[in-house]
Chains A and B, each alone.
Chain A
Amino acid sequence: MTGPRATSDYLGEFEHLVLLAVMALGEQAYGVPIRRLIAQRADREVSFGAVYSTLRRLQAKGHVQFSNQPASGFAGGRPRRVARTTASGVRAVHAAQRRLRRMAEPLGEAGS
């Protein structure tokens, strides 16, 4: 693999978490749910600033795209900008997962 390609495929730990959250949330992937999901599943309190910054970085790498979705309830019917994973994003997640599993193999069950 070439250098730049490796860089754009490579996911930092937080990028990895955010991308997973976006994948899990589907049509509801915007600031609040992403933040909540990370808090629930990864047990980690993160700031909105960090989430937006990461989403923008993922967008620049081509892993997520934004689209306007009509939101209901609280947002008062105004369109919500939600994130959606791209094919490249899905590939990047799988690659990262594989890397993690390989790294964890020597640890056996504990690592999986």
Chain B
Amino acid sequence: MSRRWATARGLLRLCGARDAGEAIRDVREEAIARRTGGHARGRVAVWVARELVTVAWYELRDGDMTRRSKSIFPLLALRLAARNVSRRPAIPLLAALTLALGYGAAGAIFGVYTGFSRPLPVPEGDSVHWLRVLDERGNPVGMTLGDLEALQQGTRAFAELGAYETASVSMRVPAGFPVRLSHAAMTLEVFHLLRAEPLVGRLPVDDDGGRAVLIGHNVWTDYFEADPAVVGETVRIDAVDRVIVGVMHEGHRFPFQQDVWSVIEPGGAGASLEIAGRLGDGITADQAIIDASRVLEARRRAGGETLGLRVRLPAFTEERGEGGESLALATLLGLVICLLLVSCSNVSNLLLGRALVRADSLAVHSAIGAGPAQLVVQMLLEAILIALSGALAGVVIAAGAILYIQSTLHGHWGYYWMRVQFEPAVVLFTLALALATGLLSGMLPALRLGRADLGEILRSNAAGVVGPGRRRMSRWLLNGQVTFSCIALIIAALMAGAMLRSRTASDFRADDVYALSVSFSTEGYEDPERRRALRAALEQSAALDARIGALVASNVLPGLENQGDVPQIEGVAIDPEVGRKRTLVLAVTPGYFELFNLSLLSGRRFESIDGAGERVALVSDAFVHHHLDGGDPIGRRLRLPALAGDEWIRIVGVVANTAAYESAESRAQSRLYLPFAVLEPRSYQLLFTGADRDAAASAVRQALNELDPDLGVSGYFGGRSAVSVEEILRYVRRIYQTVGVLSLMGGVSAALVALIGLYGALTFEVQRSLSEIGLRMAMGATRSDVLRQVTRTGLRSVAPGLALGFLMSAAVAPALGVLRGHMSARDPLIYVGVFLAYVAVATLATLGPGRRAARLDPARVLRSD
């Protein structure tokens, strides 16, 4: 009988059908007759399904009540299940723990996923859309006020449409120096489509003429002492006087994490607006996309452009972020659920194995009238009990993980609608998952028992359930699991290793170097000369101020460099391997190396004149080893095609390597330093020292304020306080740690899943070869011989999977970006450690079945044959 029919029979038995075998034979015979009579396969399938449902329905309806109350509604059975679970608790506990890790990980990921993909927190926020326009190559196309007008006039699909753009601005505040804030300039329609209501004051109106500004609740409390009289006051933002007309509610940070809002002045907006809107009644997103594409393309054609546009209309909070975090999270969730499914199959094997071990008690049950249905329900209940206890622990794990993530990111979520928290939905999701997986893992042995005759099982000790084909398949499955879990465990261990090693290294000074971010948004600073002059003046006044130890500027923070290039060195052929290795490029002012205690190995450091005339650069020791095989680099010339084009740059000095993290890979990262004046970026970090941090930060702000009273600076985490480089690196490290902890959870869970699989498979194996073991013992084999044999069988059965897992890990791990050079992807310590741990735990998993086999009474086994 094919597997499908057998499954159907199992299901019918589950419903209490006494004549399930007869019914299946009848339905099958009739189905074959219909097929040969020319009925279409699909119609016959539908007929079969309907017939089976009807049979089940009549069985449930007509079945003997006492019978049913024993088999389906089972206070008694529940108690029995609980007793069975608690009688031999070790394995159910292990299963519950495995499931708990899986549920915990799934719950935590679900929590983060829902936290990230919340709708916009405004009335009917999920109906606010973002009109995302891309060119043919998929690059975003900025919108203009003209586009907005054309859309407002030419489309019917939208009830409301508005545009906004964001920027960082400097604002003068009543007390203290100017601060840097996130600003959004919006059209008036945006305020209305958000249904925005200010907490104090009013929204801007047309007559305000663009001078009106709304401040956020955080700005109001931080800088204006939450004074309602702030409405009507004048503030200077980017050197322009504006009037505060209102204060927004605490939860309003539209569009991303904004602090202040103003109205776009006609002609004042750039060409990089974003458009948001609400659809008209009964209009679908697809209709609106067609409508908007028509208008925008007509406008582009009229302007002589031929490139096509692609319009998308996601909900406002969707498709944000470059990496598609939501997609990554959904993939991760999918993987965890796959893992849970595998663990379900293992738990079900485990239950079946336990059931076979309890054959005596099953026989007694059967003798006093328990049918397969009752035993099936019994098993189902045991599975659900295990799953639910796993779920309770899983909820605790999910809560812990979410609280940990919250504390790690302490409010820096990126977008204001994102809010990861432990909420009822997480509990519900975890419990629902537990129920579903519990049912599934209970159903599998149920269906198998349903297929096999109970007496047959009891007589043959598992051979009736596990034929040779099935054994081969389950061995494949087991090896697949071992391979998968091995990869997961190695990757998890690598990540955990990377996490541990991502302690900041002590080879550069970080704990008493403080950072403030400067950004030039005020008009007039487009000219790099003006920015250079301001910086030079700032360096001069800092040099005279006793509160500041040293002050330098750098385009990035050490340890967080991400700008890089592949250098072309004069006279050196590009080695394809080395060529792929990027060099990090930093622009720094002359005092940078002294500030971070980076010693000069040869040549000279930067001088203030560098940056004008011939281009020069310093390189790190690692650069010399990577690109010049340790040869003398001084005087050699190179080009940075991506960053500096064709211009030649001469190497004038070599400095010591820096590593932000304690790992050989981090130390071996090559760096190239350019004089700051070459790039003179519009935003950079001021790095300074001082005996008293606050005094030093205040001195820097004061010096800047004297040079330009409209220029604001901010700390790394926003706000006023300057933080040390060490604190910033520690924050970044905690993000790695979170990823590390979560992946370690996943890896350990995967390994436990495979070990439970091994335990189940061995239980079967022992049960199957009882007579062989009995014979061996009768012929003189000792208990320890038997134990050794079972352990050997167990280890041998996981060996191929383990070997494949190690090979695949070694192949896959180097592609892991998340290691970020903190860890070698083929770190022998990790591989050996994982191997030993795996073998140790696999041996432990074989002990249970092994001990059971060793305790056998050979005489009894042989007699029962």
Contacts and interface: CB of A to CB of B under 8 A. Distances in A.
A53 B22 CA distance: 13
B594 interface: no
Nearest to A53: B58
B322 interface: no
A53 B26 contact: no
A48 B26 contact: yes
Contact of A47 (B19, B50, B61): B50
A35 B32 CA distance: 15
B731 interface: no
Contacts of B58: 49-50, 52-53
A52 B55 contact: yes
Given A30-B22, A56-B62, A81-B22, A47 B51 contact: yes
B19 A81 contact: yes
Contacts of B54: 47-50
Interface in B703-761: none
B25 A48 contact: no
Given A47-B51, A52-B23, A81-B22, A32 B30 contact: yes
Residue of B25, B33, B59, B62 with most partner-chain A CB within 10 A:
B25
Nearest to A75: B25
Interface string B53-76: 011111101100000000000000
B526 interface: no
Contacts of A62: none
B818 interface: no
A97 to B, nearest CB: 26
Interface in A1-60: 30-32, 35, 47-50, 52-53, 56-57
B58 to A, nearest CB: 4
B55 A48 contact: yes
B25 A49 contact: no
A75 B24 CA distance: 11
A31 B22 CA distance: 8
Nearest to B57: A49
Contacts of A56: 62
A72 B30 CA distance: 16
A30 B26 contact: yes
Contacts of B57: 49
Residue of A30, A32, A50, A52 with most partner-chain B CB within 10 A:
A52
B27 interface: yes
B124 interface: no
B665 interface: no
Interface residues of A, number: 17
B767 to A, nearest CB: 28
A52 B60 CA distance: 13
Given A32-B30, A75-B25, A48 B51 contact: yes
A81 B50 CA distance: 23
Contacts of B19: 52, 81
A49 B22 contact: no
Nearest to B50: A47
A12 to B, nearest CB: 14
B135 interface: no
Nearest to B28: A74
Contacts of A57: 62
- Secondary structure type dominating chain B contacts: helix
Nearest to A74: B29
A80 B30 CA distance: 15
A48 B25 CA distance: 11
B23 to A, nearest CB: 6
A66 B412 CA distance: 75
A80 B29 CA distance: 13
B29 A53 contact: no
Contacts of A32: 26, 29-30, 33
A77 to B, nearest CB: 12
A59 B118 CA distance: 62
Contact of A31 (B23, B56, B61): B23
B62 A48 contact: no
Contacts of A50: 54, 58
A48 B29 contact: no
B51 A31 contact: no
A43 to B, nearest CB: 18
A31 B32 contact: no
A50 B58 CA distance: 7
Contacts of A31: 22-23, 25-26
B23 A74 contact: no
A81 B18 CA distance: 12
A58 to B, nearest CB: 12
Contacts of B62: 53, 56-57
A48 B27 contact: yes
Residue of B29, B33, B56, B59 with most partner-chain A CB within 10 A:
B29
A31 B59 CA distance: 15
Contacts of A81: 19, 22
A50 B59 CA distance: 10
A78 B28 CA distance: 14
A78 B58 CA distance: 25
Contacts of B27: 48
Contacts of A49: 23, 51, 54-59
A36 to B, nearest CB: 8
Nearest to A71: B25
A89 to B, nearest CB: 19
A32 B19 CA distance: 14
Nearest to B61: A53
A101 B62 CA distance: 31
Contacts of B56: 49
Nearest to B55: A49
Nearest to A54: B58
A110 to B, nearest CB: 35
B331 to A, nearest CB: 44
Nearest to B53: A49
B359 to A, nearest CB: 26
A102 to B, nearest CB: 31
Nearest to B56: A49
Contacts of B33: 32
A31 B31 CA distance: 13
A57 B63 CA distance: 11
B8 to A, nearest CB: 12
Nearest to B26: A31
Contacts of A80: 22, 25
Nearest to A73: B29
Contacts of B50: 47
B294 to A, nearest CB: 55
A56 B29 CA distance: 21
A74 B57 CA distance: 27
Interface in B793-847: none
A56 B62 CA distance: 9
A35 to B, nearest CB: 7
Given A30-B22, A31-B26, A52-B22, 16 more contacts: A31-B22, A31-B25, A32-B26, A35-B30, A47-B51, A47-B54, A48-B27, A49-B56, A50-B54, A52-B19, A52-B23, A52-B58, A56-B62, A74-B29, A74-B32, A81-B19
7 contacts: A47-B50, A47-B55, A48-B26, A53-B58, A74-B32, A80-B22, A81-B22
The 10 closest A-B pairs by CB, nearest first: A31-B26, A49-B54, A49-B58, A49-B55, A53-B58, A47-B54, A32-B29, A32-B26, A53-B62, A48-B51
